[in-house]
Every structure is written in structure tokens, then in C-alpha cells.
């Protein structure tokens, strides 16, 4: 059934939207969803499915954190911090939330993302990451090999990154 829906190129602009995966994030979708939920409440309507999406999304992050912590390893390498490949946008990235939870549980986290350079982040993107993980500069690494060597557990946050092939 999924293949049938994904084959529709007229109404479905991308098969990716109908493929299961990790939690969603970014600067638009969560904000737009909150705005929709707010408007629904203003109209005194009940849309339980719509209202459950954010908590379901957060549950994906919680379950990922639990799965990592259950391994009993504390040195974690994260490959890909942004909410999607090819961007440095960290706003509401589920990987940022996951890293935050792992740090709170005492994990020694190192992060590599070929698209993210703290010195290049500007505006609300930089403000978001500095307020969410104030010591992000000490976690971000420019050397993928160093992150891999450090890690007892590797978490791949985004796909389509060329250097992952070395793993």
C-alpha cells in the first residue's frame, strides 16, 4: 500500500514524506503545527490526531535516548546534527534534543556534521543552539575520524552524507 501512495507523483511531491523515520524537526513544520493546533483550539474544535503529533514526535526522541542509554556506554558520537541533510539549520532539530538528553544523562557526546560550523551560524539558528546546548562549541568536531574513534556508540542523525561511507 505504501508503494502505491509513494508512486503518485501528481499529489505526492516526494515519496520521503510517506516513509517512516526518526522524529521530524526544523524551523517550519513544528511551528506551523503549533499554529494549527492553536487555531483549532481558538475555534473550539477537537482534532485529537493533530494534537497528538508533537507528543508522538517527542516520544521518538525519548525512545532513541532510552535505546542508547540502555547500551550502558557513555561515549557517544553523533553524525549529523541538523534536522535534514545538506543544511546547517539546527532549529528544533530532533538530534539537538537527543544530544541534550544524552548530556543530561552523563554521556560524553562528540558531534560531527559536515554542514554545521559554529562560526558560520547566524541569527535565530545560532541563538537557538547556544541557548539549547550552551557548550556546543566543545562538542562539535571537524574531524569525523576523531568522533568515530571517541565513540562507543555511533548515532547517525542524517543520511546522504558522503563521509559515512568510511564506516
What is the three-class DSSP state of 96?
A: helix
Alpha-carbon dihedral of residues 28, 29, 31, 37, nearest 10 degrees?
A: 150
**What is the distance between the alpha carbons of residues 157 and 73, in angstroms, rounded to a whole number?**
18
- Return d(Cα 167, Cα 161) in angstroms, integer: 11
Residues annotated as part of the active site: 28
- Transcribe 104-131 into DSSP letters: HTT-EEEEE-TT--GGG--HHHHHHHHH
Amino acid at each position: 500500500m505504501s508503494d502505491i501512495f509513494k508512486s503518485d507523483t501528481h499529489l505526492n511531491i516526494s515519496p520521503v514524506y510517506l516513509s517512516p523515520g526518526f522524529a521530524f524537526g526544523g524551523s517550519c513544520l513544528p511551528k506551523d503545527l503549533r499554529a494549527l493546533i492553536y487555531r483549532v483550539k481558538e475555534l473550539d474544535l477537537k482534532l485529537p490526531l493533530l494534537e497528538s503529533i508533537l507528543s508522538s514526535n517527542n516520544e521518538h526522541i525519548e525512545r532513541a535516548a532510552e535505546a542508547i542509554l540502555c547500551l550502558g556506554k557513555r561515549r557517544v558520537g553523533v553524525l549529523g546534527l541538523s534536522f535534514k541533510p545538506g543544511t546547517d539549520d539546527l532549529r528544533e532539530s530532533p538530534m539537538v534534543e537527543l544530544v541534550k538528553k544524552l548530556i543530561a544523562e552523563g554521556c560524553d557526546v562528540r558531534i560531527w556534521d559536515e554542514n554545521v560550523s559554529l562560526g558560520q551560524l547566524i541569527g535565530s539558528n545560532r541563538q537557538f543552539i547556544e541557548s539549547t546546548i550552551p557548550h556546543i562549541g566543545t562538542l562539535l568536531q571537524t574531524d569525523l575520524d576523531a568522533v568515530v574513534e571517541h565513540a562507543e556508540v555511533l548515532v547517525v542523525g542524517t543520511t546522504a552524507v558522503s563521509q559515512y561511507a568510511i564506516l
